[in-house]
Amino acid sequence: MNHFLDIHKTDPAALRGMIDAARSVKDARRGKPKGARDADQPLAGHMVALIFEKPSTRTRISFDVGVRQLGGESMVLSGADMQLGHGETIADTARVLSRYVDLIMIRTFEEQTLLEMAEHATVPVINGLTNRTHPCQIMADVMTFEEHRGPIAGKKVVWTGDGNNVCASFLHAAGQFGFDFTFTGPATLDPEDEFVGLARKSGVTVQIERDPMKAVAGADLVVTDTWVSMHDSQSSRERRHNQLRPYQVNAALMAAAKPDALFMHCLPAHRDDEATSAVMDGPQSVIFDEAENRLHAQKAILRWCLGV
C-alpha cells in the first residue's frame, strides 16, 4: 500500500514515473470533453473519500473529476460535518473509513492529523495540503515546468515571498528532482531549517538571498504564493504585507531573471499583492497550466497509490 504523504518521503523513481504517466494521460485526453472517461478505467469499482477541513477549489474539483475520469466514484466530505470535527479520534475515523472506501485524500491543518490518518488507515492516504506541505501542487508544477522547458533537473527555481507550505514542498522536490532552489523573503518568513537541510543533504544548491533582484539572476522559474495562507491569522495581515511588499513579482523582477523564465503561482492569488496582474496574465505565466495539471498529476498519484 502506497501513501502519498510528501515528496521527500516518496521514492524519486516513483515520482518520475508519476510525472511521465501524467503527461501521457494528458496527451491521450486531448480534444475530449472533460466528462469523458479515460480509455483505461483502472479505478472502476473504487470509492474515494475526499475530506476537506479547509476551503478548496482546485484540489476538490481536480480530484473529484480525476477519480471519475479513471472510472471510480468519489465523495467530497467536509471535516466539520463529520464526527471527526466533533471529537471522534483520527485513528477511529481512519479505521472506519477504511471499511467503506479504497483511498482517502485529506486536506487538513496539522500535519499530525495526516500522519495519524495514514498510520491507522488500511487504505492509501493522500496529502491534499497541511499547514506544512502541499505535495500534489508541486507534482503539477514540476509537470508544468517540464511541458514548457524540458527536464527540471539542473534548473534554478526561485521562490519569492513567504516560506510557506507550498515553498516547503518545492524544497522537497528540489532534492528529489535535482534542481537548485533559492528562497528570497524576509528572515521572519524563511522556510523551515529542517526542509532546507534535507534539500542540501541531497546535493542540490539551496540559497537564501534577501535581495530579490539578486535572487532571481539566472532563474529558470520564479514562483510565489499568497502572503497570508489559510492557516495564518488575519491579524498578521498588515505586518505580513509590509514585510513582503519588496518581494512582489512584477515586470522589473521578471526582467532580472532569465529572458525565458517562467512564472508560477499555485492560486488562489491576491492580484497585485504578491504578483502583478501584468505578470500573472503575461507571456511568461503558466498559472492556468499549473491548475489544469493538478488533474493529470493527481490521476497518476491515485494510480500509484492504488497500484492500478
Residues designated as active site:
107, 134, 137, 225, 266, 294
Out of 69, 74, 98, 137, the only residue in the binding site for ligand CP (CB under 6 A) is: 137
Q: Please list, residue by residue across 274-294, b when 16 or more beta carbons sit within 10 angstroms of its beta carbon and e when fewer do.
A: bbbeebbeeebbbbebbbbbb
Nearest residue (CB) to ligand CP, 105 versus 216: 105
Output the DSSP codes for 191-245. Answer: PPHHHHHHHHHTT--EEE-S-HHHHTTT-SEEEE--SS-TTS-GGGHHHHHHHHG
- Contacting ligand CP (CB under 6 A), which of 76, 96, 267, 308? 267
State the cell numbers at 255.
526582467
Q: Which is nearer to ligand CP, 50 or 261 (CB)?
A: 50
**Position 140 contacts ligand CP (CB under 6 A):** no
**Closest CB to ligand CP among residues 120, 161:** 161
Least distance to ligand CP, CB of residue 160, Å = 17
Stretch of residues binding ligand CP (CB under 6 A), selected from 53-61, 108-116, 232-240, 298-306: 53-61
By rule CB under 6 A, what count of residues binds ligand CP? Answer: 9
From candidates 266, 297, 302, 305, binder to ligand CP by CB under 6 A: 266
Alpha-helical regions (H) of the chain: 12-29, 58-69, 90-100, 111-120, 135-149, 165-177, 193-201, 212-215, 237-244, 251-256, 277-280, 287-306
Output 78 or 205, the one with its CB closest to ligand CP.
78
At position 176, the amino acid (one-letter code) is Q
Scanning 39-47, 95-103, 251-259, 260-268 for contacts with ligand CP by CB under 6 A, the matching segment is: 260-268
Can you read off the three cell numbers belonging to residue 32? Answer: 475530449
57 is a contact residue toward ligand CP (CB under 6 A): yes
**Chain residues 80-109 in contact with ligand CP, contact rule CB under 6 A:** none
Cα distance between residue 287 and residue 270, in whole Å: 13
* Out of 10, 56, 133, 284, the residue judged to bind ligand CP by CB under 6 A: 56
Evaluate whether 223 touches 159 at the Cβ level (below 8 Å): yes
Give the separation between CA 157 and CA 261, rounded to whole angstroms: 9
CB 305 within 8 A of CB 126: yes
Q: Is the CB of 57 or the CB of 236 nearer to ligand CP?
A: 57
What residues between 268 and 297 interact with ligand CP by CB under 6 A?
268
Closest CA to 289 of 305, 265, 308: 265
Beta carbon of residue 141, minimum distance to ligand CP (angstroms, whole number): 10
User: CB-based burial of residue 103 (10 Å sphere; 0-12 exposed, 13-18 middle, 19+ buried)?
Assistant: buried
Which of residues 120 and 132 has its CB atom nearest to ligand CP in the complex?
Answer: 132
- Site residues for ligand CP, 112-131, by CB under 6 A, read 129
Contact 94, 104 (CB under 8 A): yes
Q: What is the closest distance, in whole angstroms, from the C-beta atom of residue 291 to ligand CP in the complex?
A: 7
**Site for ligand CP (CB under 6 A): which residue of 3, 26, 58, 68?**
58
CA 232 from centre of chain:
18
Q: How crowded is the C-beta side of 306, counted as CA atoms within 13 Å?
A: 23
Task: Report if residue 74 touches ligand CP, rule: CB under 6 A.
Answer: no
Q: Rule CB under 6 A: which residues touch ligand CP?
A: 56-59, 129, 137, 266-268
